[in-house]
Amino acid sequence: MKKSRHQKIKELVEQYEIETQEELADRLKEAGYAVTQATVSRDIRELKLSKIPMGDGRQKYTILIHSDHYLSDKYIRVLRDGFVSMDMAQNILVIKTVSGMAMAVAAAVDAMKLKEIVGSIAGDDTIMMAIRTVEDTEIVIGKIRSVLEE
């Protein structure tokens, strides 16, 4: 039952802009799952859902990694240790890193398997990422910030 519920949660956060635990609980109930707020809270933690900005001041739940393998501690550490800053220019995301860390940080971001990223190029201390749209660029920034702030 738990596996089935977790799969349904993944589908729901991909399909809808779910902003609150209550909204997620309501959607699960509509789908036939009897859940409490405590169950939904625990599921959010276990699935490692994060909130990302939608661009209009609101936030929604998302799954940082779209597979059964979450971002390993090694990649999280590399991302946190090497990251300096990031900025966007339309659908291009530029990440500044500690000197010599751009390739490692790019590998860590690649390991996140973000569908919004078309490709990336890493130099010594700078990564340039081509992202599908401006809105997707904001989503990627939110997902990277979520990992950095965990």
Whichever domain contains 81, its CATH number is 3.30.1360.40
147: left (phi over 0), alpha (psi -120 to 50) or beta: alpha
Which tokens sit at 62? 């998302």
Is residue 68 situated within a structural domain?
no
Task: Tell me the residue range of the domain where 32 lies.
Answer: 2-63
What does each of the 150 residues of the chain score in pLDDT, given as a tens digit? Answer: 889 999 999 999 989 999 999 999 999 999 999 999 999 999 998 888 887 777 677 888 887 654 434 567 778 888 999 999 999 999 999 999 999 999 999 999 998 888 999 999 999 999 999 999 999 999 999 999 988 887
Query: How many Cβ atoms are within 10 Å of 11's Cβ, its own excluded?
Result: 12
The number of domains in the chain is 2
pTM over 0.85? The answer is no
Residue 72 carries which DSSP code?
P
Q: What is the CA radius of gyration of the chain?
A: 16
DSSP E strand stretches across 24-89: 49-53, 59-63, 83-89
Is residue 83 situated within a structural domain?
yes
Whichever domain contains 32, its CATH number is 1.10.10.10
